[in-house]
Amino acid sequence: MNDFSRRRLLKTSAAAGAGAVVVPGAAAAAAPAASAVTDAPGSGGQGGKCPPAKLTGRIVRPEDSGYTDARLGWDQLFSHYPLVIVFAQNTQDVVNALTWARQNDVAVRIRSGRHALEGWSNVDSGIVIDISELKSVRIDAAARVATVGAGLNQLEAVTTLAKRNFAVTTGTEGSVGLSGATLGGGFGFLTRWLGMACDSLIGAEIVVAEGDECAKVVKADLNHNSDLLWALRGAGNGNFGIVTSLTYKLAPLKSVTYLQATWDGTGDLRRIFEAYQRTTPYTDARLGTQLEAHRNQLLLFAVLPEGTPTETRRLLAPILSIGSPQVTTQVGNWGDIYAGFQIPIENEPANWKFYSQFAKKPFPGEAIDIVSAFVKDAPTDDSNYFVQAFGGNVRRNPHGGTAFPHRDALFYAEPGAGWGTRSDQPGICDPLTPRAQAWIAEFSQALRPYVNGAYVNVPNVSLQDWETAYWESNFDRLRRLKAKYDPHNIFQYDQSIPPASC
């Protein structure tokens, strides 16, 4: 069986005891990755001037032997050559790096899991501030609160919390950075039960620009800079500053039922899709589901927290009764289940292209037929059309609100293409690239009459109205907050939020 897309949960079962990810500092109090919240030394100097900054942390430059590995991202369709990469070991390293960049007039990019899907977490001739080594974890079980270093990826977060029978919403891909996923909204199998990932975010430590050339550390929660917390809940990573730690409200979770159903071919796609959109956005709010259409098979995945296989099958009966799917179920600790369906990065294609869309109304038959036609003509087995049901507690805003606007969607949808072989010399033209990119462009355009908006974590680079597509009416407020927290627009990239003008 082929390894399918990054959305494909290839393994049907998790090995007993899988997912024992060791996170440095996970069992201890917060490590230096989450420092005390204070103004950085010299950060408020007269006239906004600071003493000359020196880069600290793990520094990688072009002449270093590890530079190629350090600069490459997950999506090798993009290849950049930064001037320097700083792997921060604590918050002060981030303060120093940002101050140095400002003093030397060097472009800044922020990186955690390296999954920026248009390559915007990297930059030629600039500085990449990489926070992936900030991996501390502190869990207050009595208060059901966890504070984690912003360098955790989703696999590390899920498995570490699950050992204590806790959970927060994350996406399905374990190697994706937890902070990047959360700050753009964040959704996965627990979304309908717990809401968006950003809904559980109750605090953050963030390094922001100050004055003419300085940087400082601030706290954002409901009592401190609450407007910044609102923005961090959905504005996307890298718009206001550099988040170094995140605090989440946890949900107790002892076990889940995980179901996978597979249909050979795509002949049942229309009936399955119709049943899916009639059922999964409206059913028991615990049930999280994903539907994938590939050119040679259809896949349904479901997770029911604290549920049974019988209950899961009953909730999905309108879909599972179509055709003759192969159905497997498994009950276990959420961390073990999650670890069991991960695909090693080295087994994934090198190049990826996606297009994000939300649907507020059920697809009519002609829209499903468009999906079917494009899926049959997909450029590779790794290409697919992916659907995630919303509804449930997605519709509830947490206390303090969020910048994420798409709460009335029935489902999220995403055509995606994966192709090519991983290499330490990316950028070589792959003959499939023009076909894959054309397929995505034509597919997404054909569905535009049936969808609304886009997801900032899966940016659509060709969108003319990306500001309202990502944030709807929240965009003007985000611009005002940008002017407050980053008036010099230090944190910018192709589709970053610009500060409001006077």
Question: What does the block give as tokens for 225?
Answer: 């800079």
Residue 16 pLDDT exceeds 90: no
Question: What does the block give as tokens for 419?
Answer: 């192709």
Q: Where are the domains of the chain?
A: 53-133, 137-252+472-485, 256-333+344-466
Strand order in the sheet with 108-111: 58-60, 84-87, 127-130, 108-111
- Stated as kind and residue range, the H or E segment containing 138 is strand 137-140
- Tens of pLDDT, residue by residue over 149-166, are 999 999 999 999 999 999
| Residue bearing tokens 């923005």 | 231
Over residues 197-218, the mean pLDDT reads 97
Mean pLDDT (the chain, rounded) = 91
Residues 200 and 404: beta-carbon distance below 8 Å: no
What is the full DSSP assignment across 310-371?
A: HHHHHHTHHHHTSS--EEEEEEE-HHHHHHHT---GGGS-SEEEE--EEESSPPPHHHHHHH
- Tens of pLDDT, residue by residue over 343-363, are 999 999 999 999 999 999 999
The confidence band for 48, taking pLDDT boundaries of 50, 70 and 90, is: low
Residue range 256-333+344-466 in CATH 3.40.50.800:
no
The whole-number pLDDT of residue 429 equals 78
What does R_g of the chain's alpha carbons equal in angstroms?
22
Say which residues have a Cβ less than 8 Å from residue 61's Cβ, sequence separation at least 6.
67, 83, 84, 85
Judged by phi (left if over 0) then psi (alpha if -120 to 50, else beta), residue 496 lies in beta
Tell me the fold of 53-133: 3.30.43
The confidence band for 423, taking pLDDT boundaries of 50, 70 and 90, is: confident
> Considering only the top CATH level, what class is 137-252+472-485?
alpha beta
Greatest mean pLDDT among 37-46, 152-161, 419-428: 152-161
The whole-number pLDDT of residue 273 equals 98
CA distance 208 to 215: 6
Residue 20 pLDDT exceeds 70: no
